[in-house]
Amino acid sequence: MNILDNFTLKGKVALVTGASYGIGFAIASAYAQAGATVVFNDINQDLVDKGLASYTELGITAHGYACDVTDEQAAQALVKQIEAEVGTIDILVNNAGIIRRVPMLDMSAEEFRKVIDVDLNAPFIVAKAVLPGMIAKGHGKIINICSMMSELGRETVSAYAAAKGGLKMLTRNICSEYGCMNIQCNGIGPGYIATPQTAPLRETQPDGSRHPFDQFIVAKTPAARWGTVEDLTGPAVFLASDASNFVNGQILYVDGGILAYIGKQP
């Protein structure tokens, strides 16, 4: 057997939440290239339609569904529909997420709960929905998109850090409960990734200088650059494939080395 055969996803059904664009779209597209059948959801049909058009442009036949993954009944219905129309889910990537950059004293409890609901409760809800099918099939891969904020705090992201820290521990607990059933649950912790959402933080300033936050991130990253969504696809394929069958309960940080680095002396 060729070692590369361990990395194929041929014959697998992969559900990537919130994958109409961005990191989720890149991961789902990589799964399609590796042979998987791609399924994704987003919060409304307009986003799903845009996502389907983007997959079609790449020559990928994807299955898109509108679903609010914070709604347990809706998520259960979504998984049942996917099982009926596409097949039992072999791979789940809990990618859907939000962030609110608000100082803690200015953040309402309602805003805090909203971030926790999307970034922590939803992965629990969707994992709970797919686990019975994985157990019946005798294998499964669950990948949670964590964050460096699973390990670090920073100003204005109290809710996000709390959610991603919780997601790290949910990852370990799913491993603890279902590892004996040949189900692997791991996380990916992206560093600072260049996406349309972070573009304003990388814009050249009127005087021609780099944005202060851009300078800060590059200085703190041993790789001396922002990551790209493509940097996440190899780790995502690895964790979804048979190559990672004895890797469980781990968070793979794809951060260019930030978490390993104390920074330069001033």
State the catalytic residues: 160
Helix/strand/coil (H, E, C) string of the chain? CCHHHHHCCCCCEEEEECCCCHHHHHHHHHHHHCCCEEEEEECCHHHHHHHHHHHHHCCCCEEEEECCCCCHHHHHHHHHHHHHHCCCCCEEEECCCCCCCCCHHHCCHHHHHHHHHHHHHHHHHHHHHHHHHHHHHCCEEEEEECCHHHCCCCCCCHHHHHHHHHHHHHHHHHHHHHHHHCEEEEEEEECCECCCCCHHHHCCCCCCCCCHHHHHHHHHCCCCCCECHHHHHHHHHHHHCHHHCCCCCCEEEECCCHHHCCCCCC
